[in-house]
Structure 1
């Protein structure tokens, strides 16, 4: 590697005008070669010794900034190396030093990988560099003979999307596991709760309870706060509530590691875990994952270059979509290219490296979330070519982790799963010209933007308010009388699930109270063509589901045989709605969008053309891809697609994963309280 770095430096010195390895008067070829070798050697030593210290001092720097600093820090190391060169003849302009350092680091990384291809020991040593010192010491000791478990969550990948990717040979590793000469894995679909999003699903999977998580974001009247699942303070509070509800630390409480997740699962080893990101000081170990990865300068440069390339890739794909006038389409400008690059490059690289370190350290259980597909599918569509490219990259990560398992100090069983799928469709705003928030305001007789008032939906809502109030409405849309002075409704969106709350009322309002305050609101929402159904509390019936044309059915009377307004939303819809009705923080009005069961489309209340969060379509049908050496999930159809499996809800998936951990004789997790699971 030293020799290759020396040759690389010589080539760059000949190609770049602001970089030289000889004195102004000229030197012999031998002296120039010695100068290059000395410079390459000093740069290599500084990269090995100084770079890890630089990265550790920058752990509190946001990953966004760290990715940009990588180039400049690496260039600074090269300038120092040239200064320390004994010949004293070499020099480079600062901007040239950045280019030279990046190229040399990339060449060193490629050379190291090439030298290790046919050498298992060298390959092992290369992988060990991805772990910190403590992991290396642990990996040096003999590991247990019992299998460990690696759970890899492919965020947002639905069961049908995975099956199609395998059939189209986009994911050869998954295809070999499922359809090879000797299949090693089984594919099982499962059903999410009504809140089909990562916060509810991952909290249930890792901590065994997602009670009182009605959506991705919701308003809590007792604390007067908006909870958002991907906000560090909210994630920490949700995890605390789940632990208090179950009395158990989590799936990873004994010998586990949590990587790239919203919640820790009770693990001691953490990297990029949101629920601890709000901590300050030594208690926040989540950023240690950055150090484990970026302490290798070659990794840092490679990831930074890939980050920049991904930003340009997204920009090109967005421009192409606009020029081709693709529909549906959402805006993809602003910071989104950088957000996508972080999700698809930085988060993936750091999480995969952390998982590799955990396996080489022989940890009992690892749970990691790869969010790349979910981020891209939101803006490009679940079955778009952009999303398919991400699936190909995720499959390469699976292949790498499978290869690492051969070098781990203990055998590992790899389970791949998803937390939800995504349902396609244009946005509510695109189809009707006004947002759900403006529709609610119009139904309450409150002011709305002029553009929203002119839409068909806005005009109908204003007419309904006028008729219900039996009094005129001002041109700005404000009703006359005391109703206009009340607190305005708070409208939040979670995919195709909307939540309407009235902050000035300390309790969950009943249908009767809403009608007295806003007589036209519920009928306006229920009869809108973009709304599938509403859930409200009734003083007479308890939970009440409202549909178009005045349909009202108590939730206790709904089931799969008599779905009422939930017809078409699939099996289990009534049970999911009934469960959410019991949550303490369910909104005053829960709004689920229209759903087309033929095309599988929904209408997102957010700016997403691939969405999840409510009922309807592929968003509620994720998957479990598990080794055949593990028992089948209870009631599961082991066929490649199969009908409904009976595996319903993230809490039930938690029970299955616990059972598999016990089958591996790994961490001694407590027996679950679920009676069916105890019987199994």
Structure 2
């Protein structure tokens, strides 16, 4: 063994001793503070004896954490991820109780509740001490990563040097618009991204334009599988089956993936030695973790929570993430309380389970996905695609330009910095591509602005009963006035309840995009049918100030777009910047025309208004940062790529649609690693190994 290896071994031994000593002191301090935690016999002991007892207990706890913890986590993979995160504290406390029982003469004792607290504090202190020592040793972190990489290479029999074609890591920052990222880089809120852009040989940034349905289901399906045909929204009604398809529902996600593969006859972007992490769809990858479409798969090969095991098998990771989870819950409660005290507007309710959902998205999901990506890079995988949903979740509830959302961007940048650092030690070089699936547009909710939901407005237009809360509002009165005008006769209070009741319409929302379907009308309803059966409806909707335009089929003119004041434009004649689409910018006409060809387009497609001056829209859901339709930054995500890859499109040409982004990413994979040979056969759902992931909501 050379001098370098002796120094490395000595340094490692010294860190173990220091961590052990700090853990011993922590245990002594806790024994002095907590009345239900003791390290001495009832008759009392000398200081030396107590210190020896603490050292023994700290050592036993550390050894048990290293040896038993991974086995416990693997055994508990059947537990839902959120529950597993909460169980971390109790598992750690159980290990401490076992460690105390191993102390000679039974001198260690603690109540179960106290054991949970002691174990959490000791794990956190040990983790912080270990990290601090690594920071003080300039090469400690680098040596650790190198050892991990060498160990993986020896297992696979690969050469010790970095060889072969480079791999590619695609990191999707869910919901981060092009302008949001550009501002964050310019202000150094995201220094990693800023350094990439400042380096002439670094990365290049460009926006791209989404389809009409500007949401993760449509965008990610197109990016990973090359087709998002017949995905009109995040959720929609299919008349032939009576089912509501929801992109974040596992059964729907797997069906959407199957349809895309059947249409393209291609397994997906990641079929060649790929990994899919934290996504809605697999992309044809043979390595899957936290993938929604695979959560519905049953079978012998399904490893439902393998991604969680890879992360939580390290007790330090588990405790750190659990503590961060609790801190994030408290942070959200504090931020929402301040927003209420300041009476910020727009504002929505953020109570109930939301603080826990936010903490899962911004802490647990982020940590597990980043750890999985790092593992993929050390394994030398050819292509990795991972989705980080933290910003999207917070922006929905706090606003895309809020201080809350900016803090999330800063934390995501630190995760990117870690991935970049790891790439210096992987068995092959990696090109890191950053992209988003859509942006977000701010604005008060439709219900907040007008006092009634889209469903209320539809029911009023159909002559159906409207809830009293809506009838008492200004907007509710507007809806009743529209009914009177359309019917050319007065409608007395309560008369709508006495009218014949047709089948209730199905009203669904995807951000500021609304979808209205009528189950009692076979096929796609026409304007003429609706005017006969519900004569007030289309006028009620088209003339409402919160609605920008409608799309409906016409027996006479083909499909038409309706706007205020009786404006009607055939879809074939739509032009950007004119008519009802004037406020929605370039590409709106083409997006509407494409969606109009989908088999499952709704009977009435409703897009909210868009204020070009402020970029605001009105979400038909409870979101003050929304996406799903046309209008504002939601339709302008970004693509950030290494400068040594070819430009996405020719100069002065716009990158349009998720399917075109798929072709660009495929080309980059060929440039990095050669021709991509699909592993999945046409009609298959996943890649070579359909090991599953777990459920994760993304919108």
Q: TM-score range by the shorter chain?
A: over 0.9
SS in 2 for 1:485: coil
Q: How does 1:84-103 map to 2 (within 5 A)?
A: 84-103=102-121
> How many Å apart are 1:376 and its aligned residue?
0.5
SS in 1 for 2:480: helix
Q: What TM-score, normalized by structure 2, do the two folds share? A: 0.90
For 2:354, the equivalent position in structure 1 comes to 336
For 1:574, the equivalent position in structure 2 comes to 589
Residue 138 to residue 611, structure 1, CA distance change in 2 (3 Å) = farther
Does residue 232 of structure 2 align to residue 214 of structure 1? Answer: yes
Asked whether the 8 Å contact 1:462–1:477 carries over to 2, the reply is no
Give, in whole Å, the separation in 2 of the partners of 1:258 and 1:476.
55
> How many Å apart are 1:60 and its aligned residue?
2.0
For 2:86, the equivalent position in structure 1 comes to 68
Residue 514 to residue 612, structure 1, CA distance change in 2 (3 Å) = same
Q: How does 1:501-520 map to 2 (within 5 A)?
A: 501-520=517-536
> How many Å apart are 1:75 and its aligned residue?
0.4
Give, in whole Å, the separation in 1 of the partners of 2:655 and 2:80.
39
> How many Å apart are 1:91 and its aligned residue?
1.4
Does residue 183 of structure 2 align to residue 168 of structure 1? Answer: no
Does residue 655 of structure 2 align to residue 647 of structure 1? Answer: yes
Give, in whole Å, the separation in 2 of the partners of 1:612 and 1:656.
24
Higher relative contact order (CA 8 A, sep 6+): 2
> How many Å apart are 1:403 and its aligned residue?
0.5
Residue 218 to residue 141, structure 1, CA distance change in 2 (3 Å) = farther
> How many Å apart are 1:190 and its aligned residue?
0.3
What 5-or-longer segments of structure 1 have no aligned partner?
638-644, 672-680
Does residue 279 of structure 2 align to residue 261 of structure 1? Answer: yes
* CA-to-aligned-CA distance 1:172-199 (integer Å, 9 cap, x gap): 111111124x450011100000000011
For 2:252, the equivalent position in structure 1 comes to 234
Asked whether the 8 Å contact 2:153–2:427 carries over to 1, the reply is no
Does residue 511 of structure 2 align to residue 492 of structure 1? Answer: no
**Partner of residue 403 from structure 1, selected from 409, 418, 421:** 421
SS in 1 for 2:496: coil
SS in 2 for 1:194: coil
* CA-to-aligned-CA distance 1:585-610 (integer Å, 9 cap, x gap): 00000000000111111111111111
For 2:13, the equivalent position in structure 1 comes to none
Does residue 544 of structure 2 align to residue 544 of structure 1? Answer: no
For 1:594, the equivalent position in structure 2 comes to 609
Asked whether the 8 Å contact 2:212–2:592 carries over to 1, the reply is yes
Asked whether the 8 Å contact 2:218–2:231 carries over to 1, the reply is yes
**Partner of residue 382 from structure 1, selected from 400, 419, 423:** 400
**Partner of residue 17 from structure 1, selected from 32, 35, 42:** 35
For 2:196, the equivalent position in structure 1 comes to 177
For 1:675, the equivalent position in structure 2 comes to none
> How many Å apart are 1:25 and its aligned residue?
2.3
For 2:168, the equivalent position in structure 1 comes to 149
For 1:345, the equivalent position in structure 2 comes to 363
SS in 2 for 1:113: helix
Give, in whole Å, the separation in 2 of the partners of 1:313 and 1:121.
33
Residue 187 to residue 5, structure 1, CA distance change in 2 (3 Å) = same
Tell which deviates more after alignment, 43-52 or 154-163. 43-52
Does residue 637 of structure 2 align to residue 622 of structure 1? Answer: yes
| Corresponding pairs, count | 658
Give, in whole Å, the separation in 1 of the partners of 2:352 and 2:152.
41
Residue 505 to residue 394, structure 1, CA distance change in 2 (3 Å) = same
* CA-to-aligned-CA distance 1:250-287 (integer Å, 9 cap, x gap): 11111111111111111111111111112345443341
Asked whether the 8 Å contact 2:152–2:378 carries over to 1, the reply is no
Give, in whole Å, the separation in 1 of the partners of 2:398 and 2:471.
30
Give, in whole Å, the separation in 2 of the partners of 1:6 and 1:292.
28
Asked whether the 8 Å contact 1:364–1:666 carries over to 2, the reply is no
SS in 2 for 1:43: helix
> How many Å apart are 1:13 and its aligned residue?
2.4
Residue 547 to residue 53, structure 1, CA distance change in 2 (3 Å) = same
**Partner of residue 54 from structure 1, selected from 55, 72, 91:** 72
Q: How does 1:134-145 map to 2 (within 5 A)?
A: 137-138=155-156, 142=160, 144-145=163-164
**Partner of residue 289 from structure 1, selected from 307, 317, 322:** 307
> How many Å apart are 1:134 and its aligned residue?
8.6
Residue 255 to residue 420, structure 1, CA distance change in 2 (3 Å) = same
Give, in whole Å, the separation in 2 of the partners of 1:29 and 1:514.
87
Asked whether the 8 Å contact 1:230–1:274 carries over to 2, the reply is yes
> How many Å apart are 1:356 and its aligned residue?
0.7
Give, in whole Å, the separation in 2 of the partners of 1:36 and 1:520.
79
* CA-to-aligned-CA distance 1:59-98 (integer Å, 9 cap, x gap): 1212221121110110000000111223431112212211
Tell which deviates more after alignment, 37-46 or 339-348. 37-46
Residue 304 to residue 361, structure 1, CA distance change in 2 (3 Å) = same
What 5-or-longer segments of structure 2 have no aligned partner?
1-15, 680-699
Give, in whole Å, the separation in 2 of the partners of 1:286 and 1:121.
34
For 1:641, the equivalent position in structure 2 comes to none
Give, in whole Å, the separation in 2 of the partners of 1:148 and 1:234.
31
Asked whether the 8 Å contact 2:436–2:637 carries over to 1, the reply is yes
Asked whether the 8 Å contact 1:636–1:647 carries over to 2, the reply is no
* CA-to-aligned-CA distance 1:366-404 (integer Å, 9 cap, x gap): 111010000101111111100010010000001000001
> How many Å apart are 1:636 and its aligned residue?
4.9
Does residue 308 of structure 2 align to residue 323 of structure 1? Answer: no
Asked whether the 8 Å contact 1:491–1:499 carries over to 2, the reply is yes
Give, in whole Å, the separation in 1 of the partners of 2:355 and 2:153.
34
Q: How does 1:629-668 map to 2 (within 5 A)?
A: 629-636=644-651, 645-665=653-673, 668=676
Does residue 438 of structure 2 align to residue 415 of structure 1? Answer: no
Does residue 572 of structure 2 align to residue 556 of structure 1? Answer: yes
Asked whether the 8 Å contact 1:78–1:101 carries over to 2, the reply is yes
Give, in whole Å, the separation in 2 of the partners of 1:300 and 1:551.
59
Tell which deviates more after alignment, 472-481 or 585-594. 472-481
Give, in whole Å, the separation in 2 of the partners of 1:511 and 1:135.
65
> How many Å apart are 1:667 and its aligned residue?
6.6
Asked whether the 8 Å contact 1:188–1:636 carries over to 2, the reply is no
Tell which deviates more after alignment, 63-72 or 146-155. 63-72
SS in 2 for 1:72: helix
SS in 1 for 2:245: strand
Does residue 178 of structure 2 align to residue 159 of structure 1? Answer: yes
